[in-house]
C-alpha cells in the first residue's frame, strides 16, 4: 500500500497547474509592459538627437546662403560699392519679401527676399534630399538695427527655424548690416 500512495503523490508533483501558468503569464506581461515603457522614450530621444543634427545642418546651410546675399535690392550686388540709403544711392526698400519677378529661391538677390520662405528646395531650386521631406522650414526677416545699436533700417535680423518630424524647433538667428 505504501508504494501505491508514493506513486500517485509523485504524479501530482510533475508540471504546472493552469492557475500557475496564468499567474506566470500575467507577471510576464506586466514586466514586459514596464520594460517597454522605459525603452520607448529613450528610443524616441535618441532618434530626436539624430533629427536635431540633420535640422542643424539644414538650417546652417540655408542661413549661409541667405547671409551671402546683398543687404537690400537697391544695394550693389557685386561687392558693396553702393549701399542703399547713402548719398547718391537709391533709398533702401521698405517692403520685405521678394520683389516682382522673384518667384524662385535661385532668383533671390537680397536677404529680405527670404522673408516668409518655407519651400524645401536647395539654392538651384531642386527638391531637398528625401531624408529632409518631413522637416519644416520657416524664414523670417525683419528690420532690427536697434539690436545692434544702429538706426533700425541699417540692419536686418534673419531667423531660420527648422522643425524636426518629432516637433523640435531648431532656430538660427543672424544679422545682416548695410555696410
**Hey, is 141 helix, strand or coil?**
strand
- Res 46 pLDDT > 70: no
Q: Which residue has the higher pLDDT, 53 or 78?
A: 53
In this predicted model, what pLDDT tens digit does every residue of 100-142 receive, in sequence order?
888 889 899 889 999 999 998 888 888 888 888 899 999 999 9
Q: What is the DSSP string of 63-128?
A: HHHHHTSBS-TTS-TTTSSS-TTSTTSPPPPSS-SPPTT--SGGG--BGGGGTT----B-TTSPBP
Question: How far apart are alpha carbons 1 and 170 in whole angstroms?
Answer: 83
Q: What is the DSSP string of 147-175?
A: GGTS-GGGEEEEEEEEE-TTS-EEEEEEE
| Arithmetic mean of pLDDT over the chain | 84
Indicate whether this model's pTM tops 0.85. Answer: no
Q: What is the pLDDT of residue 151?
A: 78
Amino acid at each position: 500500500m505504501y508504494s501505491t500512495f508514493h506513486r500517485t503523490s509523485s504524479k501530482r508533483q510533475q508540471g504546472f497547474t493552469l492557475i500557475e501558468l496564468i499567474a506566470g503569464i500575467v507577471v510576464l506581461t506586466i514586466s514586459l509592459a514596464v520594460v517597454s515603457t522605459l525603452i520607448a522614450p529613450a528610443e524616441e530621444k535618441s532618434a530626436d538627437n539624430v533629427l536635431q543634427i540633420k535640422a542643424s545642418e539644414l538650417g546652417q546651410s540655408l542661413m549661409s546662403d541667405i547671409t551671402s546675399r546683398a543687404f537690400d535690392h537697391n544695394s550693389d550686388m557685386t561687392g558693396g560699392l553702393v549701399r542703399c540709403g547713402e548719398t547718391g544711392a537709391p533709398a533702401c526698400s521698405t517692403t520685405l519679401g521678394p520683389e516682382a519677378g522673384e518667384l524662385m529661391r535661385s532668383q533671390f538677390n537680397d536677404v529680405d527676399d527670404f522673408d516668409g520662405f518655407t519651400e524645401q528646395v536647395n539654392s538651384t531650386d531642386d527638391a531637398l534630399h528625401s531624408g529632409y521631406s518631413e522637416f519644416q522650414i520657416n524664414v523670417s526677416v525683419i528690420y532690427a538695427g536697434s539690436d545692434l545699436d544702429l538706426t533700425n533700417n541699417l540692419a536686418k535680423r534673419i531667423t531660420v527655424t527648422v522643425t524636426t518630424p518629432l516637433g523640435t524647433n531648431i532656430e538660427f538667428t543672424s544679422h545682416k548690416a548695410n555696410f
